[in-house]
Structure 1
Amino acid sequence: MKKFTKKHLIFVSFMLFSMFFGAGNLIFPAFLGFSAGEHVWISLTGFILSAVGLPILGVAAVAKAGSFQTLARRVHPVFAFIFPLIIYLSIGPGLAIPRAGSLAFEMGAGPLLPEDWATAPAVLLIYTAIFFGLVFWLSLSPSKLVDRFGKLLTPIVLTLIFIIFIKSLTMPTSATGTPQGDYGPNPFFQGFLDGYLTMDALASLVFGIVVANTLRAKGVENKKTLSTCVMYAGFGAGLLLAAIYLILGFLGAYGGPYGQVENGAQVLTHVMAHLFGQSGTILLSVVFTLACLCVSIGLVTSCSQFFTSVFPRVPYKTWAIIFCVWSMATANLGLTEILNVSVPILGAIYPVAIVLIVLALVHDYIRSYSSIYIVTVTFVGLFSMVDMINTAFLAHKWNMVLVKFPLYAHGIGWLVPALAGVIIGYTIDLMKHPGKRAPVEKEAA
């Protein structure tokens, strides 16, 4: 068996980066740069904190716990079954994979097709059938992900983005615009909330199984060494993500002139036309297609591996077929519908994921107080569900009550319920075991 080297670890970091980096990671920081205007760097700080910092911490938390299921079992066995299912379905066939397929068509193929073809449902169906057929084929050999991503697809994507950045430095830059919406009064918090849309903090909880299996295939068997390598891979992927976000935010803020734009895809279209003229459309199409393909393969692989472990009677290949077919069908609903559904769902599950990550990282200090996990996660989960119902179904009718929670206006009203959960959970365990620390339960492997 070949010795695992630092070079292998770099390629694993590239693989993890490519699994995180989809088309959404292209359009959100670019639109942030455009919308934040002169507040671009403050907003990018918040964005990078949630879109890079949280995924790195998520990978570290899973590596430290041993697996996502082990981490979730600290809350409750039922939670350990339900929450991973919600996460996998959300970042997989429910939202992220169809979004990638739809974006691949709208920004990868659409600009190169005649206008009547680009808007024809039949053409979208044919394209997504080919796209997800390719995703399925490349997902059949998870052990080859390092070779396909780390050594081929990721370097191509990174090279294309850096070419765009270098070219932008040779062109006259436009002045930053006036901050729009909440980017004016709350640029940092708005950037932080925008980082949710990448879904990478959620993905970090589930990509660990793919990274760990890849490392084992490369000869890393020792549990401690495996955990350390997963952490290093997460940190390396995070550095690459941060660099790309800074570049895209810069392009969005200074890459004009712009006309009327409604999303990050249109921002990048204007930037590419400004920098490269007509050939910019082709270059942008290649970048989008590769990014969408990489993230779709990574998500189908991780979801299929997870569901195979939960339902072993259904083989990996069958799950991959199910997820690709379902994602293809959902992608044909259109990007707008997918995004409209994803925002409130992410708002409900992201705070729970953040709290779980933080608790995992301080587990050595709270492991004797098991009630902290269940009370904190329950409080945050209930608050997030109420907030989602208020936003998605009640047109903010409960705002008069919810705004009483500190920082609710900044999108992190769940922070107070989280702190209350920690205090109450700690108190419960002290009352159960007065005068001594609560017993430490042995975790399931």
Structure 2
Amino acid sequence: MADKRNATTGVTTLNGRNRVLATFTFFSMFFGAGNLIFPPFVGAQAGDHTIPASVGFIVSAVGLPILGVVAVSFAGGFERLANRVSGKFAFLLGMAIILTIGPCFAIPRTATTSFEMAVVPFTSDLSRGWTQFAYSLVFFAVSYLLSQHPEKLSKTLGRFMGPLLLALIAILFVFCVIRHPGGFAAPMGDYATGQAARGFLDGYQTMDLLAALYFGIVISANVRSMGVDDESQVRRETALAGVGTGLLLIVIYGVLAYMGAVSGSLASIDPAHDTGATVLTNLTGALFGPFGTAFVGLVFIIACLNVCTGLISTCGTYFQNHFPTVAGHRMNYRRWGAVFTVFSFVVSNAGLSMIIKVSVPVLAALYPIAIVLVALALVDRVFASRFPRVYFWTVLLTGVTAALNCVASLVAVFGGSLPWLDAALAMLPFADAQLGWLCPAIIGLAIGVVASRIRPVAGSSDRD
């Protein structure tokens, strides 16, 4: 239990052991399907330019989520932060994020990715449908059972699953270094040029910035269960766990990107059809044969099970708080968890490639909004609180641009096109780098500053 109490303030803080435990719990909730398949895919495509590509990836896949954890922790929660735009916005964005990191994309992806890594290499195409059905059923049943007590996740994820996952990845990395034949392939696909920028954009695929905005709910519950009862200290401990998680992720992403680069030098891939799962399968198959494939499959199962459990806990807690009753029926945490588990089970059988294709445009719409909110929260005391209307205008123009990009991308995914919309979006500065939302965000910031000066907001903003 926590064993430090300030004699003057009476505030309890976590000791070193429990801070490490909270960090491993946070890490286990973050590190799952996307975190495993995208860094190797970056390395396989970037080849001898893996370092700049990895730096770009780490900035968006680690830097942004950890800043998000810090910003949300000190804002008093994501909803209090989003309320600085408006109450309706906070509700709608919260729902969109929860559904994205939950049953619509991230939760199903955990089962699908682990299945493709651990089971597909040992099954035939004829039996794949029924095998995936059976695997998903068992996978989600175990995750649901582990998620029954979200405030006690530190006892399973923090003490056992997280350290075990790190040990397995370390073993794989050591063998990869020892048996690497030397040399790396030339960059290919999307990484033929502009590797750092491309890596930054692919960092969106981990969904960690969106998850960071709500994972604090579960981590805070675990911190309280360790004896910390002062809310400001709970936020500090949650932020510290986030920073520790960020350091772990930087090391692991670097390791996985290196492994992807090694795999690319052993067996080429087709960036248009293959995934990071293919990259790791090629690597372990070339280095260790069937045993290696089974070993990395175990790594995937553990990582994906960790994240699936954390996501079910997060979504169940969110919906219990916001929708305690539906159509007159009481919906507690476990019932909401069961709903999300069953729905995710159905979606997971759509296949990994389709889940990724559909999720890309949605993430491209949500990420800019989340980035803008976090950035404003980080400068709130020195800037944004003096011009409170910057929240509304910056998010509005960013959101409109991001939504239009999402529509155009989804139409393209399903084989259609909107030439007039594509042409209009292409006119935005930095559109080639898929950062067309930057200029609208800056314009919204300027409008917000002017609007705050002309018509100040009555009363005080929701601040800590």
TM-score, length basis structure 1: 0.95
Within 5 Å, give how 1:171-182 maps onto structure 2: 171-182=179-190
More displaced 10-residue stretch of structure 1: 409-418 or 223-232: 223-232
**1:118-144, CA deviations, whole angstroms, 9 ceiling, x for partnerless residues?**
x2x222222111111111111101122
Whether 2:92 is the aligned partner of 1:75: answer no
Cα separation, 1, equivalents of 2:148 and 2:27: 20
Counterpart residue number, 2:7: none
* 1:267-302 deviation per Cα after TM superposition (whole angstroms, max 9, x unaligned): 101111232222101101100101110000000000
Q: Which runs of 4+ in 1 moved over 3 A?
A: 112-116
Partner residue in 2 for 1:106 = 116
Q: Does structure 1 residue 380 correspond to structure 2 residue 390?
A: no
Q: Out of 301, 308, 324, which is 2:320 matched to?
A: 308
- Alignment-derived partner of residue 196 in structure 1: 204
CA-to-partner distance for each residue in 1:317-369, whole Å, 9 max, x for gaps? 10010000000011112222211211111111111011111111111122132
Q: Identify which of 397, 411, 427 aligns with 1:404.
A: 427
Q: Where does residue 368 of structure 2 map in the other structure?
A: 351
2:454 aligned residue? 431
Superposed, 1:249-260 pairs within 5 Å as: 249-255=257-263, 256-260=265-269
2:343 to 305, 316, 326: 326
Q: Is the 8 A contact 1:368 1:439 kept in 2?
A: no
Secondary structure of the equivalent of 1:330?
helix
Residue number in structure 2 paired with 1:31: 41
Aligned pairs (5 A) from 1:1-400: 2-3=2-3, 4-117=14-127, 119=128, 121-255=129-263, 256-261=265-270, 262-313=274-325, 314-364=331-381, 365-393=383-411, 395=417, 397=419, 398-400=421-423
C-alpha contact (below 8 Å) 2:100/2:106 kept by paired residues: yes
Bigger shift: residues 365-374 or 292-301: 365-374
What SS class does the counterpart of residue 170 from structure 1 fall into? helix
Looking at structure 1, the residues matched to 269 and 389 of structure 2 have their Cα atoms a distance apart, in angstroms, of 52
Query: 2: distance between equivalents of 1:73 and 1:285?
Result: 42
Give the residue type in structure 2 aligned to 1:218. M
> What is the SS of the residue equivalent to 1:28?
helix
Q: Mark the CA change 1:2 to 1:259 in structure 2 (over 3 Å): closer, same or farther.
A: closer
2: distance between equivalents of 1:429 and 1:115?
A: 61
CA contact (8 A) 1:345 1:388 kept: yes
Matched with 2:8 is none
Q: Match of 2:391, as an amino acid?
A: Y
Could you tell me how far apart the structure 2 residues matched to 1:163 and 1:440 are? 57
Q: Is the 8 A contact 1:30 1:248 kept in 2?
A: yes
* Range that drifts further, 3-12 or 420-429: 3-12
Residue pair 1:174, 1:257 contacting (<8 A) in 2 also: no
Kept in 1: contact 2:210–2:370 (CA 8 A): yes
Q: Distance in 2 between matches of 1:328 and 1:124?
A: 10
Q: Secondary structure at the match of 1:420?
A: helix
Which position in structure 2 is the counterpart of 1:417?
Answer: 440
Count of aligned pairs between the two proteins:
439
Residue 452 of structure 2 aligns to which amino acid in structure 1? D
Is the Cα contact below 8 Å between 1:63 and 1:230 reproduced in 2? yes
The 2-side partners of 1:353 and 1:380 are apart by: 10
Q: More displaced, 359-368 or 392-401?
A: 392-401
Which moves more between the two structures, 42-51 or 122-131? 122-131
Indicate if the aligned counterparts of 1:31 and 1:264 stay in contact, CA closer than 8 A. Answer: yes
Letter of the structure 2 residue corresponding to residue 59 of structure 1: V
TM-score w.r.t. structure 2 length? 0.91
Unaligned runs of 5+ in 2: 4-13, 326-330
More off after superposition, 414-423 vs 104-113: 104-113
Q: CA separation in 2, counterparts of 1:113 and 1:391? A: 34
For 1:294, what is the secondary structure of its paired residue?
A: helix
Query: How far did 1:220 drift?
Result: 1.1
1:368 and 1:440 in contact (8 A); partners too: no
The code of the aligned residue for 2:446 comes to I
Q: Alpha carbons of 1:291 and 1:326: their partners in 2 closer, same or farther (altered >3 Å)?
A: same
Q: Which segments of 5 or more consecutive residues in structure 1 lack a partner in the other structure? A: none
1:185 aligned counterpart, secondary structure: coil
Structure-1 separation of matches of 2:430 and 2:191: 16
> Percent of aligned positions with the same letter in both sequences?
38
CA RMSD across the alignment: 1.6
Pair 1:400–1:337, CA change in 2 (3 A): same
Query: Is the 8 Å Cα contact of residues 367 and 440 (structure 1) preserved in structure 2?
Result: no
From 419, 441, 445, the counterpart of 2:460: 441
Shift of 1:2: 4.6
The answer to whether the Cα contact below 8 Å between 2:2 and 2:18 also exists between their aligned partners in 1 is no
